[in-house]
Structure 1
Amino acid sequence: MQVDVGMAELVHALWAYGIETAYSCQGDPDGDSEDPAALAYVAFASPADTARFAARVARGRPGWLWVTEHEVAGGRDSVHLPPADLLWLCTQFT
């Protein structure tokens, strides 16, 4: 599995915590913070993994977007966040 350099620490921390991921992207740290395409994201392997993640991280964080797609065939739940929050997020799982 390939992982963006900017996501490696977080993805490894999530795996060590028992949260499986399906895919991720480091986003664009130099992009417009108002542009959803500039956000980093993690997609979870199952709704149970999403629930384990959500139990550690409050849903009301500024600039974050939670996407629930597990009802759609082949969809994945994901969380999209400003790349500047990645280091803080790592601390929640280590």
Structure 2
Amino acid sequence: QELLQGLIQQTEDHSEVVEEIRKSLTDIDLLDCSADRCLNLVHCLAELKDSTLYDTVRQFVNSNQAPETQLSPVQCSALADLILMSKTPLEEFN
């Protein structure tokens, strides 16, 4: 919520505003996003404690999808973020 603090008016209960921002972020056209914007989106969603994107990427990685299956740019950003935050070293990534 640090990155979004300026967008939220100081109120006691801002959960509705946070939910509205989260929904707006998840509605962004991800096919038309630059890499920087995708990474910012990943970080904003993480700060809002929205794990939907991370869960989707984890599910994709664990499903052993065929190599021709492609991730969207924002999913690639989330995957890179997950790898960087991982406490387990990555031996090989195909």
Indicate whether the TM-score tops 0.5.
Answer: no
Which TM-score band applies after superposition, normalised by the shorter structure?
under 0.3
Q: TM-score if structure 1 supplies the norm length?
A: 0.23
Higher strand share: 1
TM-score when normalising by structure 2: 0.23
Larger proportion of helix: 2
